[in-house]
Amino acid sequence: EIRNGEDLESIDGLIIPGGESTMMKLMMAKKDLLASIKTFQERGGKIWGTCAGLILLANRVQDTESETFEDNNSGMSGLDIEVCRNFYGRQKESFVSLLRLEDDILQSSGSNLFQGVFIRAPAITSISHKVR
């Protein structure tokens, strides 16, 4: 758990989870964590971002209502990719549905039905040739 810049000094890697990227940026800026995380990254610290974390790390971000990508000046950047936020729809388009599992291993619980939760998510639309 990272609550301030000093907490980054004792770790080798950081996972930034999903959530609401706009709120995460505001909270990180309020606690001056964005600058600390950028410094951590520049010193060789490894960062993995999922969903909102991916949006924060991307160099360029496209909103679903825009056709252009904008530099991610308010995020952390550092990952030379382009990301479209809400690529699979807005929050109101999230839904829950029963899925029929076809794989024997997946059915090991005794049922072939599984409640799937489908939420909005970003998509990586472009990856720089420098990314490995």
pLDDT in tens, 74-100: 788 889 999 998 888 777 888 899 988
Q: How confident is the model at residue 106 (pLDDT cuts 50, 70, 90)?
A: low
Q: How far is CA 104 from the centre of its chain?
A: 31
Q: What is the DSSP string of the chain?
A: ---SGGGGGG-SEEEE--S-HHHHHHHHHHTTHHHHHHHHHHTT-EEEE-THHHHHHEEEEE-TT-SS-EE-TTS---EEEEEETTTT--GGG-EEEEEE---TTGGGGS-SEEEEEE----EEEEE-TT--
**CA angle 87–93–97, rounded 5-degree value:** 110
pLDDT in tens, 26-68: 888 888 898 899 899 989 999 999 999 999 999 999 987 778 8
pLDDT at 124 over 90: yes
Average pLDDT in the 6-26 region? 90
pLDDT for 59: 93
